[in-house]
Structures are given as C-alpha cells and as structure tokens.
Amino acid sequence: MSGSVSEFLSKGNIKSFKSGIKSAFGRNLPKTLVASAVLAGAFAVCTKQSAPESNAVKPRTTYAVKENGDTLCAYQAIPMSDADYARLQKLVNAATKTESGCEILKGIAKAGTTLRLDYSGEDNLGYFLPDDNSICLGKQHGDADLQSVLIHEGEHALQNQRVPQRTSRYNFESNLKNIRITEADAMTMQTLFSFEMAEQGDSAALKMMKIRHKGMVDTYAAASEKYGKGSSQALKETMLSWYDDKNYVSIYDETMAEGHAEKVDEALGVSLLSRFSKTADVDALLSNTCQYKGVKYAGTDGSVLNTPRTAWLNVETRDKMANVSNRLVSKTLGFNGDESMDNFYMCKDGKVSRQTYKQIVATMIARQKTQGR
C-alpha cells in the first residue's frame, strides 16, 4: 500500500491520547541520549558510529566502591586521562548508593562492558556501542546528567545480552518496535535510578530528568505511590509513558526510516531479496527487554506493543517508508517489498487514528464496494 494517507486522516477517524508531557526539544535542550549507539547501531551489520581511535588505550580493571568501603564489583574502564578516569570512578561509585545502580553495575561487570569518559559528540550525553560492548559518557556534560546516563547506557549494555540486534533481515515494523522498547526500558531504569538517588539525598539527576522527561517522572511518582517503589506495575506504567512524548519518539522513528532507506539504496537488487522480510516475536521482544532484577516487569504479552498508544507512526514517516518499499520492489523486480509500516496507527498533529493504516484502507475499500452495489 504505497499511497499517501493524508486523505484518510481528514475523514475524522482519529482520536487523541492524553500525553501530559512537554517534549524536551520544545525547550531547545540537548537531544538526550538520542545519538546513543541504539541509533548509531540501528543495524548491527553496519553501525554508523564506531569507537574512536583513542580506544587504543587499554582498559584498566577498576573497582566500584560503596560508601562503606566495600567493593561491589570489578569493571573495565578506559583511562582517557587521569582527570577523566577519576571522574568516571566518582560517577560509578555514586551509583552504588542505589539498588538499581548496583544491579546494573554488576550486570555491566559480568558482561565485560568497558566504560570511558570522553567527548561523545555534539548534543550527545552518551552512547553504547554494541559491536564494541562499550559505553562512552560525554565528558562535556555535567555530573547531574551523566549520573543517570551511566544507568541508561548500562541498561542498553544489558539489553544487548538479552535482545536480538536490529538487522536488515527484519522488516521496518520489527526494527522500529525494537528500538522503541529498548529505549523505553532504558529510560525507565534511568527514571528509577534518579528517584533512588534523590532518596539518598542527591536530587541532581532527578532534577535533570524532570526537565528533560517530566512525563516519565510524573508517571513513576504516581505509580510508585500506588503500587510501590520499584514494583513491576510502576515500572511498566513508566515504560509505557515513554511512548506519549511523540516529538521525542519521532526522532528514533525518523532515524530508523533513514537507516532502512540507506540499506535499500546502497544494496544490489539480488542482495535485497532476503532483506526486510523477517518479523520479530513481540512477546519475546517485550519480555526479554523489560527486565529488572530477573523479573519481566512488563509481563510476556507483547500485544501491549501493538496498541494505538505504542504502535502509532507519523503520517510523514509512513509515507517515506512507502516510497522506500516502492524502491525495494523495483530493485528486486517485484520479488520483495516491505509494507509493515502499514501495521501502525496513523498519527497526525499529535492525534492517533482508531485503526491501523491497513485497516483504514480495508474499511474504505469495503465502503466503496458497498456504495457501488
């Protein structure tokens, strides 16, 4: 289905979903974590970002030390300079004050993930590189940001052990749902950590989260009051609230669309025959991604990722992907195409349709047949 959807969205088949979230980008703030390697590695087979040459510095076994002097775990750190190394240690040790921080730090240590403090690129607070199993925290940013970014990127490192990487074997729908849920989960852990740090008397991270992701902060505050701090239900509701910030989510959508377009345009027709055809198991995607302390906090029913709240797509992005699909069909002489973007609910001006694009088309065709009788 390759046509424009503009006419469909003028038919009144739309309803709004309560957001209550002001996008961070409406306030000209840095693109929090948007350029992490979740995006840089949009396709595992061709990452756009790789570890800098400075990574030739050998990792050093370093210890996460708790306030009482006990060692939590040993981890691998790359000492870019004495000052950066000392600052990184300070950030790691501070994270041991919290339950979530300890959980993720121990996971990082077990996974052999390397940590470094380095320049992370314009507007980037930090990123995780799957191919290198490494985390970079942006030295150009303050500790108030980097405290929780360490946990966010640490969660991406743990996800890398549990969740299949995005590749061009999967269709657009699968890759987009993958990148969305992994980011929603990482932001949930970041939110939990920020609250726990505030309970320990350090509210710097929480203050920054309130500025950048107020909706998630408000959701967790209310849910933890109702269901308990760190409870599965509180974490699940916080995770789902990530999808409500449509301006923020759309950045990931647009990047994934660009990644698919590049893969189609740069490849030969023959090599495209087996691309973009595999569909991810959403039950496994949800349960493997959203885990905390060994508990699948969002459950195992992946249908939660197929609702208007979580499976919406901007009209412009859908139309862009329709054009990409047309090019895929043309380059494979009609033997391959990817229409999975039509399984999303259409979003225009913040309003989401009651039906997916595919359902909208089917409804209109049925109506036309009825009227033609």
Query: Per-residue pLDDT averaged across 321-349, rounded?
Result: 94
Paired with 118 in beta bridges are 138
Higher pLDDT, 13 or 171: 171
Would you kindly state where each structural domain of the chain is located, as residue ranges? 26-244+277-307
Report the pLDDT value the prediction gives residue 371, as an integer from 0 to 100: 79
Read off the pLDDT band of 373 (50, 70, 90). low
CB 190 within 8 A of CB 298: no
The pLDDT value recorded for residue 34 is 42
* Tokens 């225009």 sit on residue: 348
pLDDT band at residue 292, thresholds of 50, 70 and 90?
very high
CA 242/CA 220 separation, integer angstroms? 11
Specify whether the backbone of 202 is left (phi greater than 0), alpha (psi in -120 to 50) or beta: beta
363: CB partners within 8 A, 6+ apart: 355
Reported confidence tier of residue 29, pLDDT bands at 50, 70, 90: very low
* Whether pLDDT at 32 is above 60: no
Q: How confident is the model at residue 271 (pLDDT cuts 50, 70, 90)?
A: confident
Instruction: Please report the pLDDT score of residue 36 as a whole number.
Output: 38
Average pLDDT over residues 264-293: 92
Residue-wise pLDDT for 180-204, tens only, equals: 999 999 999 999 999 999 999 999 9
Give the pLDDT confidence score for residue 37 in this predicted structure: 41
Residue 9: the pLDDT is 38
pLDDT at residue 196, as a whole number: 98
pLDDT of residue 121: 85
CB atoms under 10 Å from CB of 167, counted, come to 18
Q: Examine the pLDDT at 165 and tell me if it is beyond 80.
A: no
pLDDT band at 235 (very low <50, low <70, confident <90, very high): very high
Is 57 a residue whose pLDDT tops 90?
Answer: no
How far apart CA 220 and CA 241 sit, in angstroms, is 9
Tens-place pLDDT, residues 61-113: 999 999 999 999 999 999 999 999 999 999 999 999 999 999 999 999 999 99
Q: Higher confidence at residue 372 or residue 271?
A: 271
Phi-psi region of 93 (alpha: psi -120 to 50; beta: other; left: phi over 0): alpha
Which pLDDT score is estimated for 205?
A: 96
Confidence of residue 213 (pLDDT cuts 50, 70, 90): very high
Residue 53 burial by Cβ neighbours in a 10 Å radius (0-12, 13-18, 19+): exposed
Average pLDDT of the residues in 45-57 = 48
Above 80 in pLDDT, residue 49?
no
Backbone angles phi, psi at 56, to 5 degrees: -65, -20
* 1-10, 73-82, 135-144: range with lowest mean pLDDT: 1-10
Q: Over range 136-141, report the average pLDDT.
A: 95
Mean pLDDT of the chain: 86
Q: What whole-number distance in Å separates Cα of residue 314 and Cα of residue 322?
A: 12
Give the CA distances from residue 343 to residues 88, 112, 128, 243, 323, in Å, rounded to whole numbers and listed in that order.
Answer: 44, 38, 30, 17, 16
> What's the confidence (pLDDT) of residue 351?
96
pLDDT of residue 164: 74
Amino acid symbol at 264: V
- 164: β partners: none
